[in-house]
Structure 1
Amino acid sequence: MAIGQASATQDRPNILWISHEDLSPIYGCYGDSLARTPAIDELAKRSIRFDQAFSNAPICAPARSTLITGMYATSLGSQHLRSETPVPESLKILPEVLREAGYYTSNNVKTDYNFSHEGRWDESSNTAHWRNRPDDKPFFSVFNIMITHEGPTNALRKTDTESLKEFTDPDQVMLPPYLPDSPKMRQIWAHMYDLLAVFDQRVASLLGDLEEDGLLEETIVFVFSDHGHGLPGHKRWLNNAGLQIPFILHVPEKYKHFVDHIPGTTTDLKVGFVDFAPTVLNLAGATVPEMMEGKSFLGEGATEKEYVFGYRDRADDCYEVSRSVYDGRYLYVRHFMPQLPYYQNALIFNKGGSYEEINRLRALGQLPDATQRMFLPKETELLFDLENDPLEQKNLATREEHASRVRKLADELDEWMIRHRDTGLLSEGIMMGQAKGRSVYEVARAYSRESYQQLLEAARWVGKVSDPNHLIPYFESGEPAQRYWALIALDAYVGNIESTMPHLKKLMKDAVPAVATKAAEIMVKRGTDPEAYEILEKMLRLPDEVQVLQAAISVRQLGKKAAPLLPVIQDEIFPQYAGTIWGRYKSWSYPMFIGMALDQAQINCNVAIDTHR
């Protein structure tokens, strides 16, 4: 289509997504006085600002998987960062359904879905643009702007902001209580605002392209972030700071009937990423696939949801299983691995920028209490009143006056996990081991509702054990995931576990690698059986990279006790995963995280490693 010409016959809206990385709601139109976002703020004046919009995951790949599929990543098994999840052959993601409905689809350029995007877009490249479409087609175009990612935020490169004439004064920033108030941290926080200003320039450019093409009044525009700030306490943290996003929706006059249920220019309508794909399909007049789990919040049949659910699983080589539910005021979080702090002893938390600054101040004993808590085991359950405690500093979960609310939200979360067959209850190693020749989605749905209730029952023992002998029935279960969760519960138990040693020795020889690995890890940490090292070495030698990653994570968590494994790691295991990524690793997926875990294991044993910072 020639520039400056809009189709006179087009009766369906074009749809443009302008997304960016790693920023919480700090646009000027959200009331932030430090923000310099004139293009976004001007757009917001004639658009709708969503004040209750959320990513379903506080890190990119599972968030983007949810966004593009309209399915919870935990349903697909795509919730672990940079994985290669087998998905159902019948799965059609948003651009595929739109293509069938007659739309031209373009993506510029990030995918990061945790499964292959090949063949799913008309064009997905760094030159993809709606201008490449045939004349008679409406378009769905995505532009993923990466300048606000945690990398640039923490790197403080002047070249990233050379297009700016004005810069944020570090003395004017207000840091949250969980970040130390130091000159370096203020500089990083201020730089984050400067990168936002660069993003705003990109928004202005894309809106200018629409206007130049005569398409501004033919196009519904979404402007949003993929999750919270790329800083400690936000990205990777399953809390409101990690999940809440800015979201501006521009609907031209021609299509105002799609939003006639939303009065004014701001709304408290709760929306999550799982709802974006079905919403776009509704706007396009396309049929929403039955498999999609989100609900349209615009157009005919728009749904107002009662709850928004969140999840945090493996990020890099830091394994987690945490879930959340939000009702519009209260956020309930359950940690299924509370013994693991958010700020683990791992390479991802030992890199530069804000992490380096926190580590420096920690060594000097100068961290505030709220930051020090990041290094401690987590509470199993949390409840935050975001109306009165927006910075999430007061956990109300154990207060008697909130007991009924905790039970209500916990029950809602349980039901959601069971209904959608949350694959986090299987563990990454088990679900991928069972997915040979079929999708993880199909693996989970082969379980009955009752079976999933039993898995959840086992997982809920973590952090609640008063006598480790209570776990023995689960150790002897015929279901691998129940045996696995009993081991996680044992790992979290701080008392004497001598009575469970016979079961631990047996589980070290379990046929399921994830179970054997965890049993051997616990034995090294709390027992005396030298065969545990042989088991871990065997797991590190497996051909399945997913199982090797689980073993590498366990080895990293041994601290100095990993020393007997160093010769085989250095001479045989690590070389298999070495390459050029970051000058050290073979690929961006499992080999990178295996390498990172093994590098940190060596560092823990006082071996000097030239790692990427």
Structure 2
Amino acid sequence: MKNITYLFLLLSCMACKNSYKEVGKPNILWISHEDLGPIYGCYGDEYASTPTIDQLAANSIKFTQVYSNAPICAPARSTLITGMYAVSLGTQHLRSAIPVPESMKILPEVMREAGYYTSNNVKTDYNFSHEGRWDDSSKEAHWRNRPEGKPFFSVFNFMITHEGPTNALRQEDTSSLKTHHDPAKAILPPHLPDSPKMREIWAHMYDLLEVFDGQVKDLLAQLEEDGLLEETIVFVFADHGHGLPGYKRWLDNAGLQVPFILHVPDKYKHLVANISGQESDRMVSFVDFAPTTLSLAGANIPEMMEGVDFLAKEESDYVFGYRDRADDCYEVARSVYDGRYLYIRHFMPQLPYYQNALIFNKGGSYAEMNRLRDAGELTDAAKKMYATKPVEILYDLQEDPLEQNNLATKPVMKEKLEELARELDEWMIRHRDTGLLTEGIMMQQASQSKESVYAISRAYSEESFKEVLEVAKMVGKINDLSAVIPYLDSDLESARFWGLIGIDAYEGDIGRVVPNLIRLLSDEAPAVAIKAAEILIKREENNAAYEVLKNMLLLEEEVQVLQAAISVRRLGLKAKPLIPIIAEEIFPKYSGEIWGRYKNWSYPMFIGMALDQVQINCGIDVPKRK
């Protein structure tokens, strides 16, 4: 009897040590959707109707502190699929073809090496080519297309909750529902005006979530039909916050926090042994999803990946976020969260959240915000979106989950502010945050050197990188222009650029630096010359500066043309001298069939959007986008 007991114990230990061999590798299914924060019913939202997800959550792990690292799709998805911070790779700007390291292997490539069939249906939006990185990435991609017996890693990305359908209010998008959410019962956040139209949009957003719940049901039914439900680990999550003002594109918690349900079948529960119970408040961010998925698959995590396995024993102390160019609206903002306090630093505080750009002048909730603004009916919380931003923000999300009270200037919070600011500085330096290089400069250097942006940023010494960060942190805090003048002569293009941003944000007289600005009109870095020209025109309508912007708009490098188009858009009525060449020569170059206006979905679309707004600002009617 003793021998039998000993043999049983020995076999049990062997089974634990060889769990992958004994039970086989798990299939892994990611179900992602667009533009929604954690408003599933299982998160306590009584307005939501998500029966499938709620039932799944009852037998899964519900994570309550999960964050996209970026509040818009391309940088969020780049982070997800690479296990690297987008700002490390230079992939943080919306839709741009970034040269990435040849040695970089993204999640599906490593999964393939580990013996998995990989499929993606269908969205990528990584800011670099996905060609050859999946077994199948198409509208037909499905685990059912894999060779018999092979484990799979499959991704399904659902668009139904995207800001487009949310704001369009198309009845056909929710025709599958028997009932619809009552706008009268909607509970709006303080920053959104409580109008009938906004309530209708809010209710429709929840209708679309219910449609997505049905899509989850269909996929789970397919797993069950294939006999794979107990063989498959399932992730259900969104890519960032709601597709409404104050959420998507905003670096607040509202733009970053997402829902996440992790379903692990009983036979694979040993893989999540460090998580106790059906709810976890571990801090998780998208940079961790790829390494965690590899760990679940029993695969090695590449050294290049910067995320961690969030199912491991050790937990993260901080989550970092970033916001850079979205559409044709340039921003540089960074955040760090410690589980209670969210610190945000705006490096371009002179720009309002709600810029005068097409993306904020479109229909739906954006049009409603503008209508109520023009009617003088916005609340103070909503008006803030049209104003310049504080350089630093500190929210106590435990006491202030709706992010209404900035504690950054409170003496009692000085120590916490300094701690989080220091952590953010160290993180930016450690990862060589390419947002400090700026898009135009990093792409110029990559083009000239034929290197990846990742390699470009790491060619900077720590001392040089700290210099750039030092001047960038001065923006919005300059009381005397003499502090910024030395940076205008720096050998570092990015330091010169940030010196100009500091001048742009300075509200006093800039007469003493006008000679410096005139000299920088001929700077070898287009981004520097463009910014110098923009400032000169805004302050004194300099003729030489107009000539610089015209020449930059005529460049062949689309990324530089975009920087120029953004600066011209910011000139308002002062852009009139450039209208003839924009209308006759530049816009036609970037026109095409996208939305009936633009050549493609990348730089040409954003160039076109900026130039359309330029013409509108100058009183010219432009055709409506289809």
TM-score range, shorter chain: over 0.9
User: Partner residue of 1:209?
Assistant: 222
Counterpart code for 1:452: F
Shift of 1:9: 7.8
5+ long unaligned stretches in structure 2:
1-19
8 Å Cα contact 2:249/2:323 also seen in 1: yes
CA distance in 2, matches of 1:587, 1:10: 47
Structure 1 residue 591 and structure 2 residue 604: aligned? yes
Counterpart Cα distance in 1 of 2:529 and 2:21: 65
Contact 2:541 2:574 in 1 (8 A): no
**Alignment-derived partner of residue 348 in structure 1:** 359
| Partner Cα separation in structure 1 for residue 483 and residue 27 of structure 2 | 58
Q: Please, which of 383, 390, 397 is the counterpart of residue 386 of structure 1?
A: 397
- Contact 2:25–2:151 (CA under 8 A) maintained in structure 1: yes
Judged with a 3 Å threshold, the aligned counterparts in structure 2 of structure 1 residues 8 and 287 are, in CA distance, closer, same or farther, namely closer
What is the TM-score normalised by the length of structure 1? 0.98
Cα separation, 1, equivalents of 2:272 and 2:397: 27
Instruction: Give secondary structure in 2 for the equivalent of 1:246.
Output: strand
- What amino acid is the match of 2:624? T
Match of 1:608 in 2: 621
* Residue of structure 1 in register with 2:559 after alignment: 546
User: Shift in Å at residue 451 of structure 1?
Assistant: 1.2
Is 1:409 the equivalent of 2:409? Answer: no
* Secondary structure of 1:51 counterpart: strand
- Residue in 2 that maps onto 1:86: 99
Equivalent residue in structure 1 for 2:430, among 419, 433, 449: 419
* CA–CA separation in structure 2 for the residues paired with 1:395 and 1:570: 44
The answer on 1:54 being equivalent to 2:67 is: yes
2:460 corresponds to which residue? 447
For residues 56-81 of structure 1, what are the alpha-carbon distances to aligned partners after superposition, in whole Å with 9 as ceiling and x for unaligned?
00000000000000000000000000
Report the CA distance between 1:529 and its aligned residue.
2.5
Aligned to 1:284: 297
In structure 2, what is the equivalent of residue 473 of structure 1? 486
One of 240, 247, 262 as aligned partner of 1:249: 262
State the AA in 1 paired with 2:82: T
Deviations 1:17-68 (A, max 9, x none): 0000000000000000011100000000010100000000000000000000
Aligned-pair distance for 1:527?
2.5
Is residue 228–residue 243 contact of structure 1 (8 Å, CA) maintained in 2? yes
- 1:449 offset after TM fit, Å? 1.3
Aligned counterparts of 1:173 and 1:339: Cα–Cα separation in 2: 34
Which residue of 2 is the match for residue 506 of structure 1? 519
65-74 or 206-215, larger mean C-alpha shift? 206-215
Q: 2:131 aligned with 1:131, yes or no?
A: no
Contact 1:76 1:440 in 2 (8 A): yes
Q: In the alignment, which residue of structure 1 is the partner of 2:8?
A: none
Distance 2:314 2:149 in 1: 31
Q: Partners of 2:367 and 2:377 in 1: how far apart?
A: 14
Amino acid at match of 2:364: G
Secondary structure in structure 2 of the residue aligned to 1:408 = helix
Per the TM alignment, residue 123 of structure 1 is displaced from its structure 2 partner at its CA by 0.4
The residue type equivalent to 1:552 in the other structure is A
Look up the match of 2:444: 433
Provide the secondary structure at the position in 1 that maps to 2:211: helix
Give 1:136 shift. Answer: 2.3
* Structure 1 equivalent of residue 29 of structure 2: 16
**AA matched with 2:236:** V
Residue 66 of structure 1 pairs with residue 76 of structure 2: no
Secondary structure at the counterpart of residue 269 of structure 1: strand
Distance 1:439 1:296, change over 3 A: same
Q: 2: CA distance between counterparts of 1:149 and 1:368?
A: 26
Pick the aligned partner of 1:188 from 190, 201, 209.
201
Q: 1:259, CA displacement in angstroms?
A: 1.4
Could you tell me how far 1:302 is from its partner in structure 2?
4.3
Matched position secondary structure for 1:275: helix
Q: Residue 543 of structure 2 is aligned with which of 527, 530, 535?
A: 530
- CA distance, structure 2, for counterparts of residue 306 and residue 8 of structure 1: 34
Distance change in 2, residues 1:371/1:466 (3 Å): same
Q: SS in structure 1 opposite 2:84?
A: coil
Amino acid at match of 2:173: D
The aligned residue for residue 36 of structure 1 is: 49
Task: Tell me the SS of whatever aligns to 2:484.
Answer: helix
CA distance in 1, matches of 2:401, 2:301: 35
**SS class of match (1:270):** strand
Separation in structure 2 between the aligned mates of residue 538 and residue 302 of structure 1, nearest angstrom: 56
1:374 aligns with 2:385: yes
In 2: Cα distance, 1:444 partner to 1:135 partner: 44
Between the two proteins, what is the percent identity of the paired residues?
69
Q: Which moved more, 1:167-176 or 1:10-19?
A: 10-19
Amino acid across the alignment from 1:220: I
Q: 2:213 — aligned with what?
A: 200
The CA distance in 1 between the partners of 2:459 and 2:163, in whole Å, is 39
Aligned with 1:351: secondary structure?
A: coil
Give the match's secondary structure for 1:463: coil
Per-residue CA deviations over 1:122-173 (Å, capped at 9, x if unaligned) read 0011111101101121100000011000000000000000110011000000
Match of 2:90 among 68, 77, 96: 77
- Tell me how far apart the structure 2 counterparts of residues 595 and 127 of structure 1 sit (CA, whole Å): 32
Give the letter for the 1:584 counterpart: R
1:464 aligned partner, one-letter code: K
| Inter-partner Cα distance in structure 2 for 1:229 and 1:207 | 25
Cα distance, 1:10 vs structure 2: 5.9
Q: Is the 8 A contact 1:10 1:136 kept in 2?
A: no
Aligned residues: 605
Query: 1:532 corresponds to which letter in structure 2?
Result: A
Query: What is the alpha-carbon root mean square deviation over aligned residues?
Result: 1.1
CA distance in 2, matches of 1:166, 1:34: 13
Other-structure match for 2:117 = 104
- Residue by residue over 1:344-398, the C-alpha shift from the partner in whole angstroms, topping out at 9 and shown as x without a partner, is 0000000010001111111111111111110100000000000000000000001
Question: For the residues of structure 2 that align with 1:262 and 1:99, how far apart are their CA atoms?
Answer: 27
**1:8 offset after TM fit, Å?**
11
Q: Find the partner of 1:151 among 137, 152, 164.
A: 164
Residues 1:230 and 2:272 aligned together: no
User: d(CA) in 1 for partners of 2:526 and 2:63?
Assistant: 45
Query: How far apart, in 1, do the equivalents of 2:506 and 2:22 lie?
Result: 67
- Asked if the contact 2:23/2:267 (under 8 Å) is kept, the reply is no
Q: What displacement does 1:303 show?
A: 3.3
**What is the DSSP-based 3-state SS (H/G/I as helix, E as strand, rest coil) of the residue aligned with 2:180?**
coil
Q: Deviating runs (4+, > 4 A) in structure 1?
A: 7-10
Cα distance between partner residues in 1 of 2:184 and 2:428: 45
On the 8 A contact 2:247/2:255 being kept in 1, the answer is: yes
* 2-structure distance, mates of 1:346, 1:244: 26
1:495 pairs, out of 483, 494, 508, with 508
3-state SS, counterpart of residue 611 of structure 2: helix
Q: Deviations over 1:240-267 (max 9, x none)?
A: 0000000000011111111111111111
Residue 495 of structure 2: which of 467, 475, 482 is its match? 482
Q: Is the 8 A contact 1:10 1:138 kept in 2?
A: no
2: distance between equivalents of 1:348 and 1:542?
25
8 Å CA contact retained: 1:295, 1:303? no
Match of 2:346 among 325, 335, 357: 335
Corresponding residue number in structure 1 for 2:189: 176
Secondary structure of residue in 2 paired with 1:469? helix
Find the counterpart in structure 2 of residue 521 from structure 1: 534
